[in-house]
Copies of this chain bind each other. A is one copy, B any other.
Amino acid sequence: MQSEIRKKLLDAFSNNEDQYLSGQTLADTIGCSRTAIWKHIEELRKDGFELEAIRNKGYRIVKTPERVSADEIRLGLKTKYLGQSIHYEDAVDSTQRVAHRLAYDQSMEGTVVVAEEQTLGRGRMERKWYSPKYTGIWMSIILRPKIPLPKAPQLTLIAAVAVVQAIEELTELTPQIKWPNDILINGKKMTGILTELQAEADQINSVIIGMGINVNQKLEDFPIELREIATSLAIEQGVYFSRSAIIRSVLTHLEKLYFIYIEKGFFPIKILWESYAISIGKTIKARTLSNVIEGKALGITDDGVLRIEDHSGEIHYIYSADIELSE
């Protein structure tokens, strides 16, 4: 329950912005000892917060752990390809656009583009992705798998499993996957994944996996229209997380899964994916470009295609759709 105290501590500071709070005031507000407060203050410092302490006045947060750097990501990264080349940008239109250019210009497999801010972040089907400065992970990863074109969407599912594993490793949260590309916590969207590709006729040149992971946003950082449907790790667990640690973990898990995939195909990934999937066995509505299919989500095929059984018992194979839980 350490994180409970930390959450309340951060809430106290954020409710009294720019004011000094004494150890006693904090202890009283939170309902714990002054020693506990002192211990958590030290932990915040370790995590990159800058706190000012003035005798007889108390503590004030001067700076939250904001920026990520390529060096910081590399520190302790033990992957073979992923992240061996990192393009760190302060602000870009979208990391996908930057990665597309790098991919076309023959950048090496595993090249990663990370930006602190996207001014034109996008999700699937040209939907806007809200990606403000210093709060989330806006990242694109270039892969060059030698697989047939129609298998490329499987990489979305692989990336989703990697993000879930990273979140499970570094937080106390339990993310779930909504086919094909959303990762939810407590029913709210925490991560979106966008898989794009460049090909020469029938041969993949590059697959560009983009991900937006909401990490340190507070609820009020989201536009009002997103507050009901979006969330961040910080909102859910009440602590701030090191974004570079999460990036490292995502890259590590993704590389491991990618190697398994290249060697053994999609089947081992499918097992993992289904274990995290929110919709399997539930009644869902799948909106495709041409129609809406309602029925029970049976799972995904060995190729990653969603199978739905409608009310008449007919099985539908869904390659691309928006999914809505009907319950």
> Are B150 and A202 in touch, CB under 8 angstroms?
yes
Report A97-156 residues with CB < 8 Å from chain B CB: 97, 100-101, 104-105, 124-125, 148-150, 152-153, 156
**Tally of chain A residues near chain B (CB < 8 A):** 27
A182 to chain B, nearest CB (A): 13
Set of chain B residues within 8 Å of A149, measured between Cβ atoms? 149-150, 152, 199
Cα A205 to Cα B208 in complex, Å, equals: 14
> Are A199 and B152 in touch, CB under 8 angstroms?
yes
Cα A162 to Cα B104 in complex, Å, equals: 27
Known contacts A101-B101, A150-B149; is A205 also within 8 Å of B200 by CB? no
Cα A97 to Cα B149 in complex, Å, equals: 21
Cα A199 to Cα B198 in complex, Å, equals: 7
Cα A125 to Cα B293 in complex, Å, equals: 41
| Most B Cβ at <10 Å: residue of A153, A201, A202 | A201
Cα A175 to Cα B9 in complex, Å, equals: 78
> Are B101 and A153 in touch, CB under 8 angstroms?
no
Cα A104 to Cα B188 in complex, Å, equals: 30
> Are B152 and A202 in touch, CB under 8 angstroms?
yes
Set of chain B residues within 8 Å of A299, measured between Cβ atoms? none
A148-178 vs B, CB cutoff 8 Å, 1 = contact: the mask equals 1110110010000000000000000000000
A288-327 vs B, CB cutoff 8 Å, 1 = contact: the mask equals 0000000000000000000000000000000110000000
Set of chain B residues within 8 Å of A156, measured between Cβ atoms? 201
Known contacts A100-B100, A101-B101, A104-B100; is A201 also within 8 Å of B152 by CB? yes
Query: Closest chain B residue to A96 by CB distance?
Result: B104
> Are A100 and B198 in touch, CB under 8 angstroms?
yes
> Are B196 and A199 in touch, CB under 8 angstroms?
yes
Cα A133 to Cα B275 in complex, Å, equals: 59
Query: Closest chain B residue to A197 by CB distance?
Result: B199
A266 to chain B, nearest CB (A): 14
A203 to chain B, nearest CB (A): 6
Cα A225 to Cα B41 in complex, Å, equals: 73
> Are A319 and B202 in touch, CB under 8 angstroms?
yes
Q: Residues on A close to B: CB < 8 A?
A: 97, 100-101, 104-105, 124-125, 148-150, 152-153, 156, 180, 194-203, 205, 319-320
